Amino acid sequence: MLIIGTSDFLDEHLEALLCKLLPILLPRLAPTAQVCLVDNMNVSLKALCQQWAERHGLKVAELAS
């Protein structure tokens, strides 16, 4: 399970970090991995994460904050 939240990052910093980090994480995730996004995440960041997960065949869920 990969949980993606905004925590202490500004949106623009988190987007840059995710663009570098997600490809590195992919080979380390199980084929049945699920990506969980916090519900208060910026819309463009959420879309980026959802598209990435779906492109790689991962399930996406939303977590209530």
pTM score over 0.85: no
Structure tokens belonging to residue 10: 């500004």
Give residue 12's pLDDT: 78
Q: How confident is the model at residue 28 (pLDDT cuts 50, 70, 90)?
A: very high
CA distance 15 to 29: 20
Domain boundaries, the chain: 2-63
Give residue 30's pLDDT: 87
pLDDT digits over 40-62, tens only? 888 888 898 899 889 988 888 88
- CA 34 to centroid of chain Cα atoms: 10
